[in-house]
Chain A
Amino acid sequence: MSETVKTKAPKEPLFSKKNRKLVIDPLEDNNPVTVQVLGICSALAITVQVEQALVMTGSVLFVLALGNVVISLMRNLIPSRIRIIVQLVVVASLVIIVNEVLKAFLPDMAEKLSVFVGLIITNCIIMGRFEAFAMAQKPWPSFLDGIGNTLGYGIVLVLVSIVRELFGSGTLMGFPILGDKVEGTGLFATDWYANNNLMILPPMALITVGIIIWVQRSRNKALIEDH
């Protein structure tokens, strides 16, 4: 790998072009959800409300950024035959911290996210970044990579949840936007409008992600695979 050779090179600035690329790349061209199709499970589960998506992104940000640093620091100590177990232990302990913090300070949100916080352990993005990046990189680039990937994941999550919450419940962040037929509340209340129940069901999250992928690929032809 070219990076390992460069370890002896003179110290590079903290936000060099290469390091900036680590953060920006996953936002669009190498998005973990829409391009690598990782972390789809949580994109389906917790995108019913924007608030949930934001908390989830925050949790993943903590786990992935810190986990990447920890793994990167230990990368020369981990025997390669048991590396998956070591990685799992690191994720699991970080996730437990997140879970406890959420339970202590945001009990309502913890209730809503329920099992999905625990399931961050199985989020493919995290193990993927540990394996593909942190195991071979220094702590600082690993940290940036973790942030970049989480932001890429978070953007998709928030986009999907905006669509789902707006049309499924007529609210955004719990604030009523589109009127409800029964209650007649909201910014744009009409008496004929009805919320779309399908938006709350998981299939619509998949379709929304699909549409995002569609839009992204028609804008960026380089992402389209050859057949």
Chain B
Amino acid sequence: MKFLERIVENMEPKFAKGAKLEKLHPVFESFTTLAFTPKEVTHKGSHIRDGVDLKRTMMTVIIAMIPCLLFGMVGAGHWHYVANPTTDVDVTSFWASMGPKIWYGLGVLLPLIIVSYGVGLTVEFIFAIIKGHSLHEGFLVSGLLIPLIMPADVPLWMVAIAVAFAVLIGKEVFGGTGMNVVNVALTARAFLFFAYPTSMSGNSVWFGGQPDGFSGPTALGELATFTSDDQASWAFQNISEFTSKYTMEASWMGYIPGSIGETSAVACLIGAAILLFTGVASWRVMVSFFAGGLAMSALFNVWGANEFMLLEPLHMIALGGFFFGGVFMITDPVTASQTNTGKFIYGFLGGFLSIMIRVFNPAYPEGVMMAILFMNVMAPLIDHYVVQANVKRRLKRLKTA
């Protein structure tokens, strides 16, 4: 640390006001404050006395994502070798022959992360320099979230375009970190989902470098293929077939194909524990999100009109990106509701809609993304009505008194 500190101190005069590299001061500052607390502190009227600032908060989220990241790495490798069997790699068990799987997963994930951070930070730096403010920290988390919600096989140039679009249109247009209306990472995913649908969903994208003719949809994609026949007896048979292929345990542990970081509910739960323990994420949003998802799938289960609806609620929420969305996406404090009551409503509706979109529209099996983006837009409205309700209640109290 001392060594780093000396380098930083030596470099500082070069970026000072009036010096040669003055224009690049935001860049310098953002890198130094990654490691060190800022030199300038609030002089007066500061009410919060805490060592935690935005950058520290963001780092907590990144640490919480590490289980998903590691699991996704193994997963990417595992499904690659399932699609391309070799004699050296044992694919009968998820945890067997970890070496080559991790190695392959690293080869998939590392370029994705580099591209995501590289493009996103470049856009952020350009804006920071034009506007002359210091670099916003917001992209630290988004930059890691984006690779985790991509299929392993997505071309890197698409990721680059999506990240540039999301940072520019999703965030900088509204004024940068803290001002965005919708979740940046989900904006990137939604962009790719609509712009390049063949690379984002369908049968062939979930495995790294699959040979031609190997078809492997995600669990939800496979579930969606059933819904063409609506005879009840068929539905029961299909669903038992489905649950024997994607067992409850496999779905929760994440031994199923899917986007890199989202498959494992357990890994997400570890992240959730970190976020809730440190108080970074709102438990109100998270708990009500899962409650909403369970409520909706339980309702559908009672109805039971097709395969989607027959799936048990606990199984339903373990599939797809529901856990990842519920832990890392909907809890984004910028785009969530701000009032406590609003957070409950926001989270509950988010989970509710996720399952609803999933079931009613098999073309969008990943309803979580749509639902969260939709709730992002609705969050200010929820807050407005919660505040108005409070105002009304207090007015009533005033009258009776």
Q: Does B134 contact A (CB under 8 A)?
A: no
Whether the Cβ atoms of B194 and A194 lie closer than 8 Å is: no
Enumerate chain A residues within 8 angstroms of B198, measured Cβ to Cβ: 194
Whether the Cβ atoms of A196 and B195 lie closer than 8 Å is: yes
Which of A50-58, A136-144, A197-205 is the interface stretch?
Answer: A197-205
Q: Does A192 contact B (CB under 8 A)?
A: yes
Enumerate chain A residues within 8 angstroms of B155, measured Cβ to Cβ: 192
Enumerate chain A residues within 8 angstroms of B157, measured Cβ to Cβ: 192
Residue of B at shortest CB range from A203? B194
Whether the Cβ atoms of A197 and B197 lie closer than 8 Å is: yes
Most buried by B among A197, A198, A201, A210: A198
Q: State which residues 71-122 of A face B: CB under 8 Å.
A: none
Q: Does B41 contact A (CB under 8 A)?
A: no
Residue of B at shortest CB range from A194? B196
Enumerate chain B residues within 8 angstroms of A199, measured Cβ to Cβ: 195
Whether the Cβ atoms of A197 and B194 lie closer than 8 Å is: yes
Contacts known (A192-B155, A192-B157); A214 close to B173, Cβ less than 8 A: yes
Q: State which residues 187-218 of A face B: CB under 8 Å.
A: 192, 194, 196-199, 201, 207, 210, 214
Enumerate chain A residues within 8 angstroms of B195, measured Cβ to Cβ: 196-199
Q: State which residues 175-212 of B face A: CB under 8 Å.
A: 191, 194-199
Q: Nearest chain A CB to B138's CB is how many angstroms away?
A: 20
Residue of A at shortest CB range from B158? A194
Enumerate chain B residues within 8 angstroms of A210, measured Cβ to Cβ: 173
Whether the Cβ atoms of B173 and A201 lie closer than 8 Å is: no
**Interface range, B side:** 10 to 19
Enumerate chain A residues within 8 angstroms of B169, measured Cβ to Cβ: 207
Q: Nearest chain A CB to B250's CB is how many angstroms away?
A: 33
Whether the Cβ atoms of B199 and A198 lie closer than 8 Å is: no
Residue of A at shortest CB range from B155? A192
Q: Nearest chain B CB to A159's CB is how many angstroms away?
A: 17
Most buried by A among B169, B191, B194: B194
Whether the Cβ atoms of B196 and A201 lie closer than 8 Å is: no
- Docked CA distance A194–B195 (Å): 9
- Docked CA distance A115–B191 (Å): 29
- Docked CA distance A106–B22 (Å): 60
- Docked CA distance A112–B173 (Å): 34
Q: Nearest chain B CB to A215's CB is how many angstroms away?
A: 12
- Docked CA distance A201–B193 (Å): 12
Q: Nearest chain B CB to A169's CB is how many angstroms away?
A: 13
Whether the Cβ atoms of B194 and A198 lie closer than 8 Å is: yes
- Docked CA distance A51–B158 (Å): 28
B residues lining the A interface (CB < 8 Å) = 155, 157-158, 161, 169, 173, 191, 194-199
Known pairs A197-B195, A198-B191, A207-B169 / 7 extra A-B pairs, C-beta < 8 Å:
A194-B199, A196-B161, A197-B196, A197-B197, A199-B195, A201-B194, A214-B173
9 interchain pairs, CB-CB under 8 A: A194-B158, A194-B198, A197-B195, A197-B196, A198-B191, A198-B195, A199-B195, A207-B169, A210-B173
